[in-house]
């Protein structure tokens, strides 16, 4: 009806006031009113065109938002493929070496060494030492963000470790590769013998549960068993729980003391380096490299840093 009335008004056949419809003769004396009404009708048409245009714009925006959400979903799916070395392994990257992963789930990349051979493959190395060229006597910030080079020696960074282990059931694999002629007494002392190992002998310990809290909790370590392997358990159940067990310990560095001892374990002259110290430790893989003194790398199995050719700490979600 409104469209018909508008057409009549535009043609001049009828006119209207707020209450009546008049004949053509009477409209002649009311031309000013007719002109205003026509202007209103024209304006209404323009408004309708604007509304239609806005509706098209809204529809286009809705389509764009839908496409954006779909693209974001695809990107998240792609990034999750490469969140850690196990995801890489699952997606047919089966050669050990240095890869880029996305532990934070965005476009930031972290270079890591991936072990695709040990215990089914897919291990992300969080610590790797092959020489003393990279110093591990570092600050809190260095250990937080990471340092070194995964092609050689490096620490992946406590923030990355937290991201990789939060809300995930993760295992820790620790290995020490020994130098030529290393003699192990303590590991076999129940038999009163010593064994001389050839260059490249690799001892390991596997912990079934491993995670690290965030920085507000000083990257607190949570470690659980069972612990199995050839190194012996020097982190979880040492026989001296108050002094040397490391599960539940906060991370300490020479410039940030979070251990249980009255002094700072990380700042002692024969220890200096970041670690989850208690009072202080029987396992500490970030000490001075030979020829300097590295106190108790993995006591009692490995007592001298001169025995060490390489260390490796790797994690994988179960």
What are the pLDDT digits (tens) for 224-259? 989 999 999 999 999 999 999 999 999 999 999 999
Rounded to whole angstroms, the Cα distance separating 118 from 278 reads 30
Task: Specify whether the CB–CB gap between 176 and 195 falls below 8 A.
Answer: no
Within this chain, do residues 164 and 309 fall inside the same structural domain, yes or no?
yes
- Identify whether 73 is part of a domain: no
Q: Note whether residue 74 is domain-resident.
A: no
Report yes or no: 141 and 157 within 8 Å, Cβ to Cβ.
no
Q: Which region among 14-18, 43-47, 83-87 has the lowest average model confidence (pLDDT)?
A: 14-18
77 within domain boundaries: no
Reply yes or no on whether the pLDDT at 72 is more than 60. no
Instruction: State how many domains the chain has.
Output: 2
Task: Clarify whether residues 31 and 119 are in a common domain.
Answer: no
In a domain, residue 76? The reply is no
Do residues 93 and 115 make contact, with C-beta atoms less than 8 angstroms apart? no
Instruction: Give the pLDDT of residue 98.
Output: 98
In a domain, 306, yes or no: yes
Same domain, 59 and 124: no
Mean pLDDT for the chain overall: 84
Is 119 or 2 the better-scoring residue by pLDDT? 119
Q: Model's pTM, two decimal places?
A: 0.73
DSSP 228: E
Least confident stretch, 111-115, 228-232, 286-290, 313-317: 286-290
Give the model confidence (pLDDT) of 167-207 as tens digits.
Answer: 889 999 999 999 876 666 544 444 434 444 555 799 999 99
d(CA 136, CA 132): 9
Domain ends where: 68, 94, 114? 68
CA distances from 278 to 43, 143, 315 (A): 80, 18, 22
The answer on 126 and 43 residing in a single domain is: no
Which of 42, 68, 94 corresponds to the end of one domain? 68
For residues 63 and 89, membership in a common domain is answered with no
For the domain that residue 141 is a member of, what is the CATH number? 3.90.215.10
- Establish if 254 belongs to a structural domain: yes
The domain of 131 spans 83-317
| Whether residue 200 sits in one domain with residue 295 | yes
Find out whether 257 and 267 touch, Cβ atoms under 8 Å.
yes
Same domain, 211 and 63: no
Neighbour tally for 213: CB within 10 Å: 18
Query: Looking at the structure, do residues 35 and 87 belong to the same domain, yes or no?
Result: no
pLDDT of 175 reads 97
Look at the chain and count its residues: 318
pLDDT of residue 190: 42
Q: Name the phi and psi angles at 75, rounded to 5.
A: -65, -45
Count of C-beta atoms within a 10 Å radius of residue 289 = 19
Determine contact, residues 86/124, Cβ cutoff 8 Å: yes
Tens of pLDDT, residues 23-51: 555 555 566 666 777 777 777 778 877 87
Asked if residue 20 has pLDDT above 80, the reply is no
Listed in order, strand segments (DSSP E) in 102-151 are 110-115, 123-129, 147-148
Closest-CA residue to 84 (of 122, 128, 28): 122
Domain match, 88 and 60 both: no
In a domain, 75, yes or no: no
For residue 209, being part of any structural domain is answered with yes
Same domain, 117 and 164: yes
What is the mean predicted confidence (pLDDT) over 95-110? 92
More confident of the two residues 60 and 3: 60
Is the model's pLDDT at 145 over the cut of 70?
Answer: yes
User: Is 64 found in the same domain as 87?
Assistant: no
Higher pLDDT, 236 or 292: 236
Region of poorest pLDDT, from 78-92, 209-223, 277-291: 78-92
Query: Is there a single domain that holds both residue 293 and residue 249?
Result: yes
Two structure tokens written together for 83: 């969140």
Say what percent of the chain tops pLDDT 90. 59
């Amino acid at each position: 009806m409104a469209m018909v009335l508008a057409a009549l008004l535009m043609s001049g056949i009828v006119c209207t006031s707020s209450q009546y419809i008049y004949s053509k003769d009477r409209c002649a004396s009311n031309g000013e009113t007719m002109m205003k009404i026509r202007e209103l009708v024209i304006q209404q048409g323009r408004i309708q065109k604007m509304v239609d245009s806005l509706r098209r714009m809204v529809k286009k925006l809705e389509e764009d938002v839908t496409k954006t959400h779909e693209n974001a979903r695809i990107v998240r799916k792609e990034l999750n493929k490469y969140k850690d070395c196990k995801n890489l392994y699952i997606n047919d990257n089966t050669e050990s070496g240095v890869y880029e992963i996305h532990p934070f789930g965005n476009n930031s990349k972290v270079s890591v060494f991936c072990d695709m051979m040990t215990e089914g493959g897919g291990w992300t190395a969080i610590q790797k030492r092959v020489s003393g060229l990279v110093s591990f006597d570092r600050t809190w910030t260095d250990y937080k963000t990471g340092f070194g080079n995964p092609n050689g020696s490096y620490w992946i960074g406590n923030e990355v470790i937290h991201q990789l282990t939060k809300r995930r059931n993760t295992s820790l694999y620790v290995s020490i590769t020994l130098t030529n002629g290393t003699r192990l007494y303590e590991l076999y002392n129940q038999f009163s013998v010593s064994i001389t190992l050839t260059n490249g002998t690799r001892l390991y310990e596997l912990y079934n549960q491993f995670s690290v809290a965030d920085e507000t909790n000083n990257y607190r370590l949570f470690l659980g068993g069972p612990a199995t392997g050839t190194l012996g358990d020097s982190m979880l159940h040492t026989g001296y729980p108050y002094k040397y067990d490391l599960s539940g310990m906060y991370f300490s560095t020479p410039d940030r003391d979070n251990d249980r001892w009255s002094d700072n374990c990380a700042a002692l002259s024969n220890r200096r380096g970041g670690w989850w110290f208690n009072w202080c430790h029987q396992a500490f893989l970030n000490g001075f490299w030979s020829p300097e003194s590295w106190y108790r790398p993995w006591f009692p199995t490995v007592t001298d840093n001169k025995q060490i050719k390489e260390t490796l700490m790797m994690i994988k979600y179960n």
